[in-house]
Amino acid sequence: MLFDLRSRGRRRTVQVIYLGLAVLIGGGLILFGVGTGTGGGGLLNGLGGNGSNSGQTQAVDQATKSALKATRERPSDPAAWSQLVQAYFSAAGSGTDYNSSTGTYTAAGKRDLTLATQAWQRYTQLTQSPTPDLSILAARAYGQLGQYKQQSAAWEDFVTAQPKAAKGYVCLAVSSYAAKQNRKGDLAAAKALKMVPKLQRLTLKQTFQQVKTQPALAAQC
């Protein structure tokens, strides 16, 4: 458990914090609509399917095979590696590898997330301008793997491409604090707090404080 919930007041505080995360992070990312031509829909690309659908699983497997073939045929083409990142991320969220009720991945799902991050690393070697939707997928994968320093770097790529997106700075701050990169987190947090509505700032400040001692919260991004 992340929190001691025996106190009624404590339970209420935790509920407020998670509500803030859900509103500021979860919903916001899904609605980003960054559509930059990598076939993406942000997190919807990996989490929008029905895990019990065998037809979907077969389609994901075929997409992975096609992406692997593309990287073999065009090893210096960032588009091919982008395709592979998306394919592995989708594979991680398909079949029984992802539990949508708990938001957790199986060991097999995490293996696919690891492969997605490896493809992302090759992709970023080939382009100086990662697309924002792919940055979200990479950040999401790193967060689920508990690799918060790399998650922070992916969110930094996102805010470079989308500097007016408050949710990006929220997640950059959260992942930076989780990675113990407090200076970087402070800068992103200050930016985020200026961009969000005043009514959300107190909850957001509480979230930033919590993630410093509860880094697993960064996976919510």
Q: Domains in the chain: how many in total?
A: 1
Q: Mind listing the pLDDT tens digit of every residue in the chain (221 residues)?
A: 333 434 444 444 444 444 444 444 444 433 333 333 333 333 223 333 334 456 667 778 899 999 999 999 999 999 999 999 999 999 999 988 899 888 899 999 999 999 999 999 999 999 999 999 999 999 999 999 999 999 999 999 999 999 999 999 999 999 999 999 999 999 999 999 999 999 999 999 999 999 999 999 999 99
6 assigned to some structural domain: no
pLDDT at position 106: 95
191 occurs within a structural domain: yes
Q: Do the beta carbons of residue 17 and residue 210 sit within 8 Å?
A: yes
Kindly state whether residue 22 falls inside one of the protein's structural domains.
Answer: no
Q: Is residue 27 part of a domain?
A: no
Which of these, 147, 148, 134, 33, lies nearest to 84 by C-alpha position? 134
- Residue 56 domain boundaries: 42-220
**SS3 state of residue 203:** helix
Query: Is residue 214 in a domain?
Result: yes
Q: Is residue 117 part of a domain?
A: yes
User: Is 1 part of any domain?
Assistant: no
Chain CA centroid to CA 67, Å? 21
Contact at 8 Å (CB) between 83 and 91? no
Distance, CA of 54 to CA of 159 (rounded, Å):
36
How confident is the model at residue 211, as a pLDDT? 97
Decide if 141 is inside a domain.
Answer: yes
**Looking at residue 54, which CATH number applies to its domain?**
1.25.40.10
Among 215, 36, 57, 38, which residue's Cα sits nearest to residue 142? Answer: 215
pLDDT of residue 177: 98
Number of CB atoms found within 10 A of residue 165's CB: 19
